[in-house]
Amino acid sequence: MSASLVNHMPLSLLYAAIDSLDVGVSVRVVDGRLAPRRWQQALETQIDSQTHLLGISVMSGAPITNALEVSRWCKKHHPHIKIVWGGPHTMFHGREVLNEPSVDFSISGYGSLPLARLCRNLRGDADAPEFKDIPGLNYRHQGAVMTVPVENRFEFIDYKKIPYDLIRANLDRYGQMENAERVFSMYSSMGCPYQCSFCSAPAQYKDIRKKFEIYPFSEVVDHIDHVVSRYGATYIYFIDDDSFVRISHIEAIIDEIQRRGIRVKLGFRGARINEIKKMSDTFLNKLADAGTDIMHIGAESGSQKTLDLIKKNCTVADIIDVNLKMARHPEIKCAYNWIVGLPGETIEDIHETRKLMIRLIHDNPNVILFTPNMFRPLPHTELYEMAVARGYHKPDLVSEWANVENSVEAKRYETLPWVDETMHRQVEMLQIVTNFIDNKIFKIDLGNTLKFNILRFLARLYTPIAWARVRTGYSGLLFEKTLLQWVSRLG
Ligand code: B12
Ligand code: SF4
């Protein structure tokens, strides 16, 4: 569902390409999401005799299935092309992915400079670095997998170098819920100083001394100006891990946007309860006046025990108070994230989360509930060790990783021993009803596709049932699961 509502431009590939373009490599971008049933043709048309390397951006979970399919197809039809994986999955699993024979290299961590160096090596440049000198590279040598440590610093990118032109023809196809907007994602900062025990960020930044750094506010606004004037952006979506670590930084950005008279909407994907607690109504008014229409907020749980376990530095009462405060700023939709199935959680904790969801909707008509995510133990995170101690078995093979997915289709209780079938069904029920009880289907402009027209029609019939379920916690006879899966598969 989230992937149907959000289809951002492939920034991972654009960023990864920057230094390669600088050293004269010709880069083409193929976005498989835009041609899910015809990706082979889409790829084939971009491959010619001069194609030497295929780079694939991979997130953990279901995207691995696609990445495997593409890699194996390419090796079969174009055996001379080398394949390199990068992205969030290879950040921590760069070595393991080389267990897959079709993958020649993987790059852990930031990708632009290492990819350019790899290209220069493969191109045979006289002064090209050896594999062992390419930070983050995983490669095979005499039958063994070799790993070069990643560089312990953030990758700061000059916005003028981002090759948006590589996807210019498809700009209208990227968006985020509001289909009419031309959405451009960007960073206002790098890193995150918090230590949420389930999240990969603390592990990723473990060896970076300063955990959070900003892009100067004027540079962020120059970037906004650039994408508005050159590419017709109407909506800026900040993809920072957490945008409000330093509230004054965002204030400086919105002041500058106003000062320059740039007309764009803004969305923030990272906001914490403890940060919003500190925001004044004056600041929130300013944020709304600057065009902010959504903030993604990590509420995560209605159980205090769980909030403490995951280190959210807030109480359940704080979440309720923050939501009441946000209700005074109706221009800004509050989109709450949830995580369930953590080690030690019981069905009671899930019920507390369910009750908090109801409370938030009652207190604030602008609430959007994201589908609760089933906990996925990520190696190197604090909760990973706890999960292993409680009997979690880490997927070893690339193909096993592909099956680790937090969707309604996953039987997560088979891999998370503390999640029994009752809890799993309760979570599945919440994953379904959260799509309806907040009326998001009517609150956000989803466009006029067959899928969303069917969804709107079904939503009218189903919402009262969803409410009955969430109020009582009844998760038996989940007939709607099959229906929703069917609608999700519609193009
Ligand atoms: C936007 C976003 C999304 C969007 C997708 C965007 C899109 N492309 O359409 C949506 C909302 C759909 C999404 C979904 C999910 N996301 Co998300 N998302 C992000 C976010 C905020 C930004 C990603 C981004 O564009 N970054 C900008 C680019 C430039 O950075 P990058 O991808 O890291 O790329 C760099 C390197 O990784 C590398 N690289 C990347 N690709 C490649 C390819 C090659 C060949 C090479 C060499 C290098 C390379 O080079 C790039 C430049 O340095 C990140 C957090 C963040 N701030 O990064 C989380 C993040 C990627 N998401 C994450 C998660 C957990 C999820 C979900 C599982 C959430 C959920 N529980 O539902 C789902 C994934 C569902 C699934 N399995 O498909 C995790 C990733 C964990 C993991 N190991 O995969 C992150 C890191 C957040 C976090 N800290 O937890 N997400
Ligand atoms: S969940 Fe968000 S706030 Fe917490 S550590 Fe991860 S990125 Fe930072």
In whole angstroms, how far apart are CA 366 and each of 70, 106, 300, 440?
40, 42, 18, 9
**410 pLDDT above the threshold of 80:** no
Are residues 290 and 228 located together in one domain of the fold?
Answer: yes
Tell me, what CATH number does 119's domain have? 3.40.50.280
Domain assignment present for 447: no
E strands, 253-332, in order: 265-272, 292-300
Q: Tell which one of 14, 15, 434 to mutate to probe ligand 1, the residue whose CB is within 8 A of the most ligand atoms.
A: 15
Domain assignment present for 51: yes
User: Token match 């109801």: residue?
Assistant: 358
Are residues 117 and 180 located together in one domain of the fold?
Answer: no
Identify the pLDDT of residue 4. 58
| Nearest bound ligand to the CA of residue 240 | 1
Atom in ligand 1 nearest the alpha carbon of residue 114: 47
Mean pLDDT over all residues of the chain?
92
Question: By alpha-carbon position, which residue is closest to atom 53 of ligand 1?
Answer: 110
Are residues 188 and 324 located together in one domain of the fold?
Answer: yes
Identify the pLDDT of residue 5. 64
How many distinct structural domains can be found in the chain? 2
Ligand 1 centroid distance, CA of 87 (Å): 7
Q: What is the mean pLDDT of residues 26-39?
A: 92
pLDDT of 46-85, one tens digit each? 999 999 999 999 988 788 999 999 999 999 999 999 999 9
| Nearest bound ligand to the CA of residue 211 | 2
Residues recorded for the chain? 491
End residue of a domain, out of 87, 112, 147: 147
From the CB of 8, is ligand 1 less than 6 Å away?
Answer: yes
Which of 32-46, 218-232, 415-429 tops mean pLDDT? 218-232
Angle at 160 between CA 156 and CA 165, to 5 degrees: 120
End residue of a domain, out of 363, 394, 425: 394
pLDDT of 155-186, one tens digit each? 999 999 999 999 999 998 887 654 678 999 99
Are residues 183 and 57 located together in one domain of the fold?
Answer: no
pLDDT of 233-276, one tens digit each? 999 999 999 999 999 999 999 999 999 999 999 999 999 999 99
The two tokens of residue 139 are 């490669």
Strands of the 82-86 sheet, one edge to the other? 53-57, 82-86, 105-107, 137-141, 144-147
| Nearest bound ligand to the CA of residue 84 | 1
Identify the pLDDT of residue 218. 98
Structural domain including 341 reads 159-394
pTM for the complete prediction?
Answer: 0.93
pLDDT of 186-198, one tens digit each? 999 999 999 999 9
Identify the pLDDT of residue 484. 77
pLDDT of 288-339, one tens digit each? 999 999 999 999 999 999 999 999 999 999 999 999 999 999 999 999 999 9
Ligand 2 centroid distance, CA of 310 (Å): 10
CA 276 to chain centre: 21
Distance CA 348, CA 423 (A): 9
Identify the pLDDT of residue 407. 43
From the CB of 16, is ligand 1 less than 6 Å away?
Answer: yes
Are residues 140 and 168 located together in one domain of the fold?
Answer: no
Ligand 1 centroid distance, CA of 71 (Å): 20
Are residues 180 and 236 located together in one domain of the fold?
Answer: yes
| Nearest bound ligand to the CA of residue 271 | 2
Tell me, what CATH number does 217's domain have? 3.20.20.70
Domain assignment present for 62: yes
Identify the pLDDT of residue 406. 46
Domain assignment present for 425: no
From the CB of 68, is ligand 1 less than 6 Å away?
Answer: no
Are residues 102 and 241 located together in one domain of the fold?
Answer: no
Instruction: Determine how β-strand 137-141 pairs with β-strand 105-107.
Output: antiparallel
Q: Which residues contact 137 (CB under 8 A, 6 or more apart)?
A: 105, 106, 107, 114, 117, 118, 131, 147, 148
Q: What is the mean pLDDT of residues 391-417?
A: 68
Are residues 193 and 101 located together in one domain of the fold?
Answer: no
Which protein residues touch ligand 2 with a CB less than 6 Å away? Answer: 192, 194, 196, 199, 201-202, 241-242, 270, 272, 298
The two tokens of residue 239 are 């993809």
Where residue 393 falls among pLDDT bands split at 50, 70, 90? confident
End residue of a domain, out of 89, 121, 147: 147
pLDDT of 332-374, one tens digit each? 999 999 999 999 999 999 999 999 999 999 999 999 999 999 9
Are residues 66 and 165 located together in one domain of the fold?
Answer: no
Are residues 83 and 194 located together in one domain of the fold?
Answer: no
Question: By alpha-carbon position, which residue is closest to atom 3 of ligand 2?
Answer: 194
Identify the pLDDT of residue 486. 77
